Every structure is written in structure tokens, then in C-alpha cells.
Amino acid sequence: MSLVKEVDYGTPAAKSEKTVTINVDGFDVTVPEGTSIMRASMEAGIQVPKLCATDMVDAFGSCRLCLVEIEGRNGTPSSCTTPVADGMVVHTQTERLKKIRKGVMELYISDHPLDCLTCAANGDCELQDMAGAVGLRDVRYGYDGGNHVKTRQNGEENPRYMAKDESNPYFTYDPSKCIVCSRCVRACEEVQGTFALTIEGRGFESRVSPGMHENFLDSECVSCGACVQACPTATLQEKSVIEIGQPEHSVVTTCAYCGVGCSFKAEMRGDELVRMVPYKDGKANRGHSCVKGRFAYGYASHKDRILNPMIRENTSDPWREVSWEEALRYTADKFRSIQAKYGKAAIGGITSSRCTNEETFLVQKLIRAGFGNNNVDTCARVCHSPTGYGLKTTFGTSAGTQDFDSVEHTDVVILIGANPTDGHPVFASRLKKRLRQGAELIVIDPRRIDLVQSPHIKAAAHLALRPGTNVAVLTSLAHVIVTEGLFDEAFIRERCDWDEFQDWAAFVSDPQNSPEEVERQSGVPAETVRKAARIFARGGNGAIYYGLGVTEHSQGSTTVMAIANLAMATGNIGRPGVGVNPLRGQNNVQGSCDMGSFPHELPGYRHISDDATRDVFEKIWGVKLDDEPGLRIPNMLDAAVEGTFKGIYIQGEDILQSDPDTKHVAAGLAAMECVVVHDLFLNETANHAHVFLPGSTFLEKDGTFTNAERRINRVRKVMSPKNGFADWEVTQNLARAMGLDWSYTHPSQIMDEIARTTPSFAGVNYDLLEREGSVQWPCNEKAPLGTPVMHIDGFVRGKGKFVVTEYVATDERTGPRFPLLLTTGRILSQYNVGAQTRRTANSAWHKEDLLEIHPHDAEQRGIREGDWIRLASRSGETSLRATITDRVAPGVVYTTFHHPGTQANVITTDYTDWATNCPEYKVTAVQVTPSNGPTEWQVEYDKQAEQSRRILPRVDAAE
């Protein structure tokens, strides 16, 4: 294995279809029109010396190192800023150029420390490389004059010297090494879109400044690391590289955080991870990353990680470390005896959206073939199950329609119930780039998210609706589009069922669905809705992106169908730049749904009652499958409380923290006889577990993740599992202990089985993924290289189906006792229940969950910034600190659920989506009152948690 070195072409690729041929140093090279001479030369294999150019950002022309001579032209233009022209003859190395370059390098080096041997970038420094490339041997100016390098000069303090900024937990800024190439500033602006950096001052005083001469942590910086990646020297350097040294080999893999599915190079020294560097060929992220993916991997080696299997008879006992054999034997016997006593259906399992496709496939196979029932569910139950239902009903597939590249062709974006800058940061950066190029944005969200307004971004309309009124607002948008004749009749007639459209059109045209009527419920001014509808319908390519603010409602499935209706009515399906795009929360939530994690569906979204589909699996698995759908998570818990469900295998999910109505979940778990938690940490669910099977991280196994754009990305093992086994091996060993005859030796064999049984994966295998990097399903005979955009010539289900979306308000209502509406979300630096990110330095940004409350509501209640408050709903109460902000409207409060101490889900109710049981996290009527600190429940909970995490000291058997 060696270090994957990606070629830096110096400037971004030109997109023109017209080509131009030039001659560089005697070699002809043909490139798209608009390519820079620098890039064209690199494509011919000739590297022009450069410092300020890198292909992630536009050419800048400031370092004066990349000068070339062009026959017939005067002077020495910079090759990065000069585009190619047909017939151009370029010389990159002439006596004149060599002299100029040497002179430029001399100036750079005259104000740069000469500590190369002890510098963290030694071996990975472009300044060092260029000094070598131009043959610098001497610096005539000496090092005694004004400089930024020495702390003291002529016996006095050097006023130009600035100490290192170490405020960011992951990287340092050492101004003394800065050559002011602006690559960091431009990466922050062009790639990340945050504009947190600038060059302050001018001339010799110029230097990089985060914010207004602030330190990195206090500035607007979001720690995505694009600047660190862009820096050609050690000025911006990962602390891990400073501590460990340069990596010697790297492996391309896929991030295990959100559903964007960024590709990274895991750069290693031995079996030690030195750093994660986004991979430019990664088709989801195109070389960019966020703070989580790039930096927050420390949880993999955190001291809290459990590496040995453990069991206990009662959850009040301390844990006892045992061998893998004993743990698996114990589990298998328990499960079998439960089934003997309470029936086959008394056990079940939950697959993980954090684990690979292969692992998920095995867990559902274990349940269906081994447990002999269909009691399998997954955390998508609590996030995107309405997406599956809604898009399957309207379009015929349970997934988003586009790839992420599609956003580059979008003219108008509707963003509903998603906060991409926090939840899907790399997609947000790509979206912001498109918005800066002129695309319009309509935000439908109760909260003023960053994309409503942030530097260089301003939404054309913000529909700040009351939580719970999504359906009404979307229907009112449709009302405007239909009544004003803005729909795409040709598209609808060709691609959809015209009669159904007419029924739908009649429904939305009803005056009770007009923006003026809906305004009473939603609080969104009718004029804003009308404006937004016109922009979307007339604006060109219209794309809809949405998140859990759509699905986690009692009308989640209705809202998804309302979105689909809107896209079909405006003809925005089936080409780049348009579509319906669910932003999936977890790395493999798409994959876990694809892999048959739902109780009623076999892999590929085929109903369990379908004889032909069952037959395929029965033949290969050699068992008879139950044709009745099994229990969903909430039903399993209900059944447990009733005493008919007794055992559960939970892989990589913390239902106690992430599922609604914590007390009910706890009661369900407590009523079971054998709860098996397979995870990295003793999570909250494990407080009620009898068996703990240690899990492996994404760094420790092979497999695939499927991201929000249906892209199947390879996950590659970069180190051996610290716990001894990859998760797929653990599941296989459990299956064997239960008497199943499994003998997979590599996840690729599992993928082959998936391909054999599942038509949308028929063409997928590891060789193809190796060759192509990644593919988007469906990948089969019809689409051997996958399908970036779906429904191109027609909908998967045949004709697109318009569904009448009657608005049925939730039963959860505000009243005198609970006058406020609570909605929930997440924050950039933390991820989901925080099991991973809380165990990294990301906590520097978000130490605790806070309740956002409008100044008006806060004043009425006598609440000041930072006060402890009691948050109570009909379900329960908890305490946390308040922060006062006008991001939320009066009457609405907001919090995150990253910290178990907060227990936000003690508050949420058990109302769920009518079609899929997806819980209504986004609307809870609450009251907020001042308090002194944590509630009794929180104190009690902490005590119980601490009690249940005790592990007996290991007693080694005497020889």
C-alpha cells in the first residue's frame, strides 16, 4: 500500500464541450476551451511551478511562480490565469523564466523560517518542493531585515511576529510560516462558502485573519478544514500530523456520519490514523468535507469504547466480561428458550443505519431465516420511513431522484424542514456555491436557519410556518401553481395520469387551500406563499430538498406526497437540476432501508407477502419464510410491555435516546428477558441490556454504505477491529450459534448474494465498485453503471401518481397549559445522539443542548440567557439551559437531542405518522418555566445509568 497522491491540476476543470489544442514544451495537448495553460500543461504531464494555485479553487495569479512564455505574445503571463487558445505554443522553462522564479522564491524564503527538518509539513510542503524545483541555492537578502519569523529582532520584540493560534481543537495556525498565497481564504469562500477568513492589512503587513483578527475558535470558522487542506505549508496544519508525523500509506473509504457519504483518504502511519483527507474523486463530496468527517474520528479509540463481550443475568447486576463464545452461546440459548416458551414471534431485532449494507442484510437475514419471523425494523422508522412510503406511492421508488452533482444545474431550490449547513454540511456548501452563482432559494422552516441569510446567501422567500402545517402550506403552493396556470401540462399529460391530476387540481384549487385561508393555520403571509410558488414554477430547473422536518410529523407521508405532487405539477422530474431529494440523516439509512430492514419488506422494497420474491430468498436461504409482516419498533415495545415480546438484538442503534417517549421505551426494554446490544459504547439502551457485543468502527471493516443519492460507496478496512471482529462477523457467529449454516469469508460474498436476490442491485459487485469508485442503484442490465438521475423516460411505477393531500392537523395541540410548540433538530458539530461526536473534541463547539426561545416568550416568563429552564409536555419534563434568539418565531421553541443528559425525548409524544409510525418529533406542545437545575427524573436517570454501567474487574482464570 502506498499514499494515494491525487494530481493537483492547479485550476478547476473547464466544462466546455469545445476543445482546443496547444503545444507545451513541444508536446501537443487537447483540452476543453477555457482550461488554463497550467491545467493543460499538467494534463500533458508537465508541472509548471506554482504556489497560490490549487484545483479546488479558482486561479488567483498572486504567487508569480507559474509564469510562462507564449510565442508571439509579450511578457511572462501567469499560466494559472491565462486560458488556452488554439495553436498556442507555450514554453514553461526558459532562462528568463528560471531567473524570475528563482528571484520570487528568494523573496519568499527570506521571510520564512528555515526549520524544515523539524517542521510538521516536512515531506508534504509545496514551498519546500518549489524551492527544490526552481533550484534555489542561496538567499541574497539574508534574514536580518523585517520579518514575521523571529520572536525577537535586534534585542527587541518583533512587532510583526504573531504567536501560533491553537484555539481550534484540530488544527493550528502558525502565522510565521504563512506565505500569503490566499489559498485558505479562497477555499473558505469558494469551497466551503463560509467566508470566515480574509487577508488583513496590505503589503508586507498582509496576513491571514480569521474573522476580525480573532482566533479561529471565536471566528465565523466552522472547522471544515478546507483551509488546512489548501495550505501549501505548515501554516494551517492538523494537530494530529504535528503529533504523529507524516502518513506513509492511505486507503480510500467513506465517511460514517451523515447521508452525504463523503469519500475520504484515511491517511495512515502503520495502523495509526494520521488524518482524513477528502477525496477529490469522491462523487458526493468532490474533495470537500465537514468538521465531523475530517476531524471527529477520535471516538474510534476513545477510552469509553467497549472491546470485550459482556453479559449479566439482571440489568441491576454489574457487567461481567466473557469470551466471544460464551456471549454468543448465552445469547443463542436465551433466544431459543424464549421462543420455546413464548413462541417464535417473541424475539426480533433492529438493524443499524450506521453499519454497512452487508451487515444490515445479514441482520435481517438472521431474523427472517434464523428467528423465523419478520420482527425486524430499523431507525429509519423514526426518520425517513414516510419518504419510502410517499415516494414509492407517487413515483414507484423509495429514494431520492438525483445525484448531488444535480444541484449544479438547479435554478430554484425549495428547502423544506432541513438545515443542511448543520445536518448535511458538504451538500450545503455545494448548494451555497450554486446560490452564489444566482440560483434562487425558498426556505420552508419554522426556524430561521443559516441558509435563510448568511454571507452572500439570501433566500428569496422564507416561509416560517407553524410546526405541523407542512401539508397545508405545500398544498397552498400547489393552489397558486394550479389556479394561476403555472403547471407544466405537457409533462403531466405525457408522464402522469391525467385524470388523477385533474382530481388533484380540483382539490388544491378549492378556496380553502388558498394561501389566504392557509395563512390562518400556518402563520405564513399569503403574499409570501404566492411569491414562492411563482418563483418555483417559473424559475427554470426546480429542485426540492427536504429533511426530517418533513417526515417526523403525524402527516409525514402526506407531506412527502405533497412534495412529489409539486415536482410533477411543475415538470421537475427526470433530468439534472430538478427532482425530489430527501437528505438522509445517517451514513447508511438509505442502504439499511434498501436491505430489507422493514418488517413488511424484503431487500429491494418487495413486500413479504409476495410469493415470487419470497421464493427467491427461500431457495437461496433454504428455509421457509413467514409471509406475514412482523412488528415495527413501537409495536415490539408495546408487545414487550404486554408480555408477549421477550428478546431483541439491536445492532448499532440507541433506541432509548433516539426514539420518542423515553419512558415507554425504557419500560419496554425492562420488560424483556434478553436485550442484546451490539455497539461501540455502553449507550443508553445498554442500560437495559443483558448482553453487550462490542462493535467495530467503519475504519475496521470492509463493506458498502449507500448515501442519500442512492450511491453505493465502498468502505474499506484501514485497521483491524479493536474488538476482534467486524460487525458482519459477529452477526454471522451469532447466526452459527443459533444453528444457521453461514460461511461468508468476506463482505463481497454478501454483496453477491444481495445482487443475486435483489433486481435493483443485480449489477453490483466489488469489482465494479473498485473500477467505478461508486455506482448509484438501480444498477443492473438496463443500467450497468448505475442511475444518477431516476425517472428519465418515465416513472418507475409507470405513470406518476398525483395523490390528494388532505391536511389533517395533528392531535397534539397547544393550549393554556402547554402554549408553546417545541421542534427539534441538530447542530453542525454534533451528530445524532452524539455517541460518537460527544467522544471527540467537537464538544468544544456544543457542550450541551440548549433551548432556543424567542425574546418575547422569554421575557414573559422571566427567562434570561443561560438560565436553567424546565421544559414540560403532556408526556414528561426535563431541564436544560435557555438561549434567547429570534431565529425561532414567538410561540415556537427549539432544541437539539445530542446529549443524553437533556433527554429531549422524554418530552416528545407518541403521536406518529399515519402511514409509517414515524414519530412526530417535530411538534410537541410544551410549557417553559424557570428552574434551578436538572429534574428529579434526570438525576434519577443518571444514577440508574451509572449503576448499570458498572463492569466487574476481570478475573483471569488460574492456570
End-to-end CA distance of the chain: 42
- Interface residue with other proteins among 164, 456, 771, 782 (CB under 8 A) is 456
Q: By C-beta, is 201 or 794 nearer to other proteins?
A: 201
Are the beta carbons of 842 and 291 closer than 8 angstroms?
A: yes
Q: Count residues contacting other proteins (CB under 8 A)? A: 22
Q: What is the DSSP string of 242-269?
A: HHH---SEEEEEE-SSBTT--EEEEEEE
Q: C-beta of 380: minimal distance to other proteins in Å?
A: 37
Can residue 196 be called a binding residue for other proteins (CB under 8 A)? yes
How many angstroms separate the CA atoms of 636 and 369, rounded?
A: 19
- Interface residue with other proteins among 82, 194, 387, 597 (CB under 8 A) is 194
Site string for other proteins, 199-228 (x = CB under 8 A): xxxx------xxxxx-----xx--------
Q: C-beta of 412: minimal distance to other proteins in Å?
A: 20
Q: By C-beta, is 231 or 284 nearer to other proteins?
A: 231
Q: By C-beta, is 230 or 734 nearer to other proteins?
A: 230
Q: Which stretch binds other proteins (CB under 8 A): 196-204, 300-308, 474-482, 888-896?
A: 196-204
Cα-Cα-Cα-Cα dihedral of 31, 34, 37, 41, to 10°? -20
How many angstroms separate the CA atoms of 595 and 351, rounded?
A: 10
> Which is nearest to 513 in space by CA: 497, 500, 526, 503?
526
Can residue 855 be called a binding residue for other proteins (CB under 8 A)? no
Q: C-beta of 455: minimal distance to other proteins in Å?
A: 4
* CA distances (Å), origin 162, targets 148, 179, 321: 7, 14, 52
Q: By C-beta, is 197 or 851 nearer to other proteins?
A: 197
Q: C-beta of 140: minimal distance to other proteins in Å?
A: 23
Q: By C-beta, is 219 or 572 nearer to other proteins?
A: 219
Residues 521-550 that bind other proteins (CB under 8 A): none
Q: C-beta of 53: minimal distance to other proteins in Å?
A: 21
How many angstroms separate the CA atoms of 34 and 19, rounded?
A: 9
How many angstroms separate the CA atoms of 728 and 492, rounded?
A: 46
Q: C-beta of 579: minimal distance to other proteins in Å?
A: 28
Name 410's Cβ contacts closer than 8 Å, sequence gap at least 6: 434, 439, 541, 542, 543, 577, 578
Q: Which stretch binds other proteins (CB under 8 A): 190-198, 272-280, 322-330, 906-914?
A: 190-198
Q: Which stretch binds other proteins (CB under 8 A): 39-47, 198-206, 459-467, 850-858?
A: 198-206
Residues 425-454 that bind other proteins (CB under 8 A): 453-454
Q: By C-beta, is 143 or 195 nearer to other proteins?
A: 195
How many angstroms separate the CA atoms of 841 and 92, rounded?
A: 46
- Interface residue with other proteins among 167, 198, 215, 720 (CB under 8 A) is 198
Q: How far is C-alpha 533 from the chain's CA centre?
A: 29
Can residue 458 be called a binding residue for other proteins (CB under 8 A)? yes
Site string for other proteins, 928-947 (x = CB under 8 A): --------------------
How many angstroms separate the CA atoms of 559 and 580, rounded?
A: 12
Q: By C-beta, is 127 or 180 nearer to other proteins?
A: 180
What beta strand segments (E) does 89-157 contain? 89-91, 152-153, 156-157
Q: C-beta of 436: minimal distance to other proteins in Å?
A: 11
3 state SS of 656: helix
How many angstroms separate the CA atoms of 603 and 358, rounded?
A: 11
> Which is nearest to 764 in space by CA: 774, 776, 755, 773?
755
Site string for other proteins, 658-677 (x = CB under 8 A): --------------------
Q: Which stretch binds other proteins (CB under 8 A): 97-105, 195-203, 269-277, 909-917?
A: 195-203
Number of helices and strands in the chain (H, E): 29, 38
Q: By C-beta, is 206 or 337 nearer to other proteins?
A: 206
- Interface residue with other proteins among 195, 766, 868, 914 (CB under 8 A) is 195
Can residue 874 be called a binding residue for other proteins (CB under 8 A)? no
Q: C-beta of 474: minimal distance to other proteins in Å?
A: 28
> Which is nearest to 526 in space by CA: 586, 490, 468, 483?
483
> Which is nearest to 297 in space by CA: 238, 226, 249?
238
What beta strand segments (E) does 805-849 contain? 820-825
Positions touching other proteins (CB under 8 A) are 194-202, 209-213, 219-220, 453-458
